[in-house]
Structure 1
Amino acid sequence: MRLKSKIYLYSSVLFAALLAAACISIYLLFEKMSLDAESLRFEIEAELTAERISESASRTAPDDLLRAYAPADGMLRVVQPDGTSLARPVTASEDTQLSERLSSEPYAYTASHAAERLSSGGKGYIRVSVPVIWPDGEVLSVQVSRSIADIEDRFDVLKTVLVIVALLALIPAVLASTVLANRIVRPIAALTGTMGDIRRSGRFQQIETGQRPGDELAEMGRTFNEMIGLLEGNFARQERFVSDASHELKTPLTIIESYASLLKRRGKDRPEVFDEAVDAILSESVRMRELTERLLQLARSPEADRLEIVDTDLSESAGESARAFMRAYGREIEVEALRPVFVRTDAAKVRQLLFILLDNARKYSEDRITLTVTGGGDKPAELQVVDRGIGISEEELPKVFDRFYRVDTSRTRSTGAGGSGLGLSLAQDLAQALGIRIVMKSEVGEGTAVTLHFPPAETADRGGERFRRDILPARGRWSRSEEGGESP
């Protein structure tokens, strides 16, 4: 059974059951209250009748006495302790059948006050027994029986009315169940239809449930849209990775293949060709490795790259990054940091970002590189990387963060390997993930300055923690000696 049919069926049955329970409760409550009220009224009338009979018993014959006080719709009799009637029972009802039923009622002596509901021939009546002292001193039971046919007729009318009302109330209930089922199933049907469209067309789509925020169905639609956005992003990254890899790896592979063929043909006979081919193959291999690493980093899902936000000393991170970079490339790096500057960020991602900027500065300049840390306290933290290379023209500056954009025609590099154009794009992604704003300023022939503006955060209280000068001097410069050692 479909969900819509289940909701329609279950809600209709539940409403019908609740309506039936309400109608039955109303009927039973009304019946009990009416019978209790009628029984009380009959008891009061029976006590008055018994009192009058007791007062007149010494002056009037029993048969005449009963005829005088017989109820219009019932029977009156006086029962002796031995179970016989003092006089012939008297019925004053015009209903012959009722009179016959009441007259045929067996005698039963009751020494105490009692009221009971009886039924005979499908008709109900109430009998009230009242003990009286007869003039001869004997205690007799005056029994007054009254028909409750009128009340039972009202009960039948009420029963009919409740049944009709229940049937009429079921009509809007059924319609409401239909509306409810359609309202609940609509976003689910939209979800199913959207998934079917995605499967057939291969294009990612989102749904609009039309539900108010906070509703479970709206939450389902929002979660589905977030999932679709995540899948679309992952799919786009995969497509971009395949496209970028096929586009960028084609050139170095072609160069390697060409020089390998040249080596095979002439490498043994011509040493100069051998040296040229090996250098080119090595250069392209390094470039391909760097390109592959950058492509894999860019293809990673942001959700898979969890941030570990901790209190980080930018001065210390800058010093460690400069030392590691100097060891790797032997370039002179000057670090300017007058005091510790703490921020709340991911230290590993900041170092990765610094390595990208330092590597970019290394490729496009031969002079020293300056790394400056400022801010802290009430001032926003900033970290700046400055190279003294040929610089970037004003027209090309807005494009440097685009994927695969290179300005090789205007910037010379000291390295033989060509850049992939992915470094600054990856740096931009890392900065966005960390909430860092990147500002780049450059002048042709003067150099380039890249400034990282860190978001304001509550500065951690470091107490009297000493700043480790063995890691980072207040103002230092690192260089590598010819023997391969390090000297500050």
Structure 2
Amino acid sequence: MTLRSRFTLFTVFWFIFILILYNIFVYFFVIRVTTRGELQLLANKADLVVESLRKHSMRGMEDAKLLSDMYNYSEMMRVVAVGGKVVNAVGIDKELLSIPPSVNPILTSETRHINGQRVIYLSVPLFDQGQLIGVVESARRLTVLDSYLQILVGALSVTSIGAIVFAIFGTYWFTSRLTGPIGQMVQTMREIDRSGKLHRVRLNGREESVELQQLVRAFNQMIERLDRTFERQKQFVADASHELKTPLTVISSYADMLKRWGRDNSEVRDEAIDAIAKETERLQRLTRSMLALAEAEQDDWMNAVRFDVSSVVKELSAVLGKTFGREIRVHSSNNSVQMVGDKEKIRQMLLILIDNAIKYSKEPIDVRIRHDKAGVKLEVTDYGIGIPESEIPYLFERFYRVDEARHRSTGGSGLGLSIAKRIVDLHEGHVEVFSKPGSGTTVAIQFPRHLQAHS
């Protein structure tokens, strides 16, 4: 069963249930109010009879004028003495007059049924000096009231049926509008599955509810994110193919040259072996970088723990400074700067940034660590050749190179900064680059104070 059918049936069922309860309440409420009104009318007449008898010291109960003024064709009134003898009566309805007389010392009112018709009955006791001397009995048919009730039942039935029909069509129309965007998303998914191309669901503006608009927007955002991911994957494959093509071509060319002339020419053989070794090493570095970047794309890549980032920076700077024979100065606001993150990945990020600074500068390198209210801030500054301002927005793209010749000389693959940026993103951080050609470059990274650990 579709969501539209379920929602329609559920809504109509509860509407009918509530409508039935409402009709029952209205029916019995009208009966109660109107019956009470009819009974009050009989009570008023009986009080007039009792009041008239009291004025005459309870004499004249047999007087025909006592009840003649109270006569109504649908009523019966009579005075019954103690012992059950009817001493005075008015009325032409034989069925009402045939009601057995009863002398009761308390006021009695009730609704009876005579031949399937409702009749209200009232008995008012008569006392003379504290002694019960009789009762005034009244009875009235509710024929007119019952006819009105039949009209009320008919009106309620017609309006209820109309309301149910309206509710069915209205609910079906509403659910059609409600589930329309969902149907569009299902159709879009099927079209994506059929064609292999991503499509977005179009919004109808103010015609849709806020929740549905949010649902459609979330779906479109997901599609856009998938689209960007696919495009990045295509670009990554294209760039990787391009990067792998060059060293493979060099290796293939030198291998072919070895086959032709290298066996007898030592110079050609040595040149080919050296070139093949260099390109093989470059391929290995490129493969390692690609594997690291692929690992960085995994959502569960980070294992967050609390550690001293200052000690990591100092240890790494000492190792790299000794390895490359360069001066790397560490400036820390405190001896110990604690942060929450993946220690090994932060170390990998710092290695990439410091390694880039070493490659593109000959001056000492400054690494600054600060801890403030916003969190932990790391800065790596070199005083080398710098980067043109127009190139800064593209630094963290995969395989991007500011200067192709420069990267060839340094052996860069164009993936290091992409990996570093991914590490920063996983730590919910923010990275900025400040550079000026000929004056050096500063990479500033801000990590938040409270990091949400990834499981």
Q: Give the TM-score taking structure 2 as reference length.
A: 0.77
Tell me if structure 2 keeps the 8 A contact 1:71–1:146: no
CA distance in 1, matches of 2:387, 2:346: 27
2:111 is matched with 117
Structure 1 residues 56, 124: closer, same or farther in 2, change over 3 A?
farther
Structure 1 residues 267, 364: closer, same or farther in 2, change over 3 A?
farther
Could you tell me how far 1:411 is from its partner in structure 2? 7.5
Tell me if structure 2 keeps the 8 A contact 1:82–1:109: yes
| 1:436-477 CA-partner distances (Å, limit 9, x unpaired) | 21123333xxxx622022449779xxxxxxxxxxxxxxxxxx
Tell me if structure 2 keeps the 8 A contact 1:406–1:420: no
Tell me if structure 1 keeps the 8 A contact 2:80–2:134: yes
Structure 1 residues 302, 215: closer, same or farther in 2, change over 3 A?
farther
Where 2:137 maps in the other structure, the secondary structure is strand
CA distance in 1, matches of 2:416, 2:70: 115
Unaligned 5+ segments in structure 1 are 94-98, 460-488
Where 2:198 maps in the other structure, the secondary structure is coil
CA distance in 1, matches of 2:166, 2:57: 65
Structure 1 residues 227, 257: closer, same or farther in 2, change over 3 A?
same
1:131 to 125, 128, 137: 125
Letter in 2 for 1:166: S
1:9 is matched with 9
Aligned residues, how many? 438
Could you tell me how far 1:79 is from its partner in structure 2? 4.4
Letter in 2 for 1:146: R
2:136 to 142, 148, 153: 142
Q: How does 1:384-463 map to 2 (within 5 A)?
A: 384-386=380-382, 391=385, 401=395, 403-405=399-401, 407-409=403-405, 413=409, 418-427=411-420, 430=423, 434-443=429-438, 449-455=440-446
Tell me if structure 2 keeps the 8 A contact 1:335–1:370: yes
CA distance in 2, matches of 1:242, 1:323: 37
CA distance in 1, matches of 2:122, 2:317: 111
Q: Which moved more, 1:2-11 or 1:117-126?
A: 2-11
Could you tell me how far 1:349 is from its partner in structure 2? 4.6
Tell me if structure 2 keeps the 8 A contact 1:211–1:217: no
CA distance in 2, matches of 1:198, 1:308: 37
CA distance in 1, matches of 2:318, 2:111: 107
1:182 is matched with 176
1:27 is matched with 27
2:330 is matched with 337
Could you tell me how far 1:118 is from its partner in structure 2? 1.3
CA distance in 2, matches of 1:4, 1:308: 46
1:77 is matched with 78
Q: Kindly report the root-mean-square deviation, in angstroms, between the aligned alpha carbons of the 2 structures.
A: 4.3
1:465 is matched with none
| 1:193-245 CA-partner distances (Å, limit 9, x unpaired) | 32233223323233355579995434433442343344334323332332222
CA distance in 1, matches of 2:4, 2:69: 69
2:285 to 286, 290, 294: 290
Q: Which moved more, 1:159-168 or 1:300-309?
A: 300-309
1:243 to 220, 238, 250: 238
- The answer to whether structure 1 residue 227 and structure 2 residue 222 are counterparts is yes
Structure 1 residues 436, 335: closer, same or farther in 2, change over 3 A?
same
2:453 is matched with none
Structure 1 residues 293, 429: closer, same or farther in 2, change over 3 A?
same
| 1:394-423 CA-partner distances (Å, limit 9, x unpaired) | 59955872534363446783x6xx432333
Structure 1 residues 183, 254: closer, same or farther in 2, change over 3 A?
same
1:486 is matched with none
Q: Which moved more, 1:295-304 or 1:53-62?
A: 53-62
Tell me if structure 1 keeps the 8 A contact 2:354–2:380: no
Letter in 1 for 2:433: I
2:46 is matched with 46
Structure 1 residues 189, 337: closer, same or farther in 2, change over 3 A?
same
Could you tell me how far 1:103 is from its partner in structure 2? 2.9
Which is helix-richer, 1 or 2? 2
Could you tell me how far 1:129 is from its partner in structure 2? 1.8
Structure 1 residues 372, 65: closer, same or farther in 2, change over 3 A?
closer
Where 1:71 maps in the other structure, the secondary structure is coil
Could you tell me how far 1:54 is from its partner in structure 2? 7.5
- The answer to whether structure 1 residue 358 and structure 2 residue 354 are counterparts is yes
Letter in 1 for 2:215: M
Where 1:438 maps in the other structure, the secondary structure is strand
Structure 1 residues 239, 456: closer, same or farther in 2, change over 3 A?
closer
Could you tell me how far 1:317 is from its partner in structure 2? 3.8
Where 2:324 maps in the other structure, the secondary structure is coil
Tell me if structure 1 keeps the 8 A contact 2:358–2:365: no
Where 1:333 maps in the other structure, the secondary structure is coil
CA distance in 2, matches of 1:78, 1:400: 111
Structure 1 residues 294, 396: closer, same or farther in 2, change over 3 A?
farther
CA distance in 2, matches of 1:420, 1:208: 41
Tell me if structure 2 keeps the 8 A contact 1:131–1:142: yes
Structure 1 residues 437, 214: closer, same or farther in 2, change over 3 A?
farther
Could you tell me how far 1:42 is from its partner in structure 2? 1.6
Letter in 2 for 1:101: E
The percent identity for this pair of structures is: 27
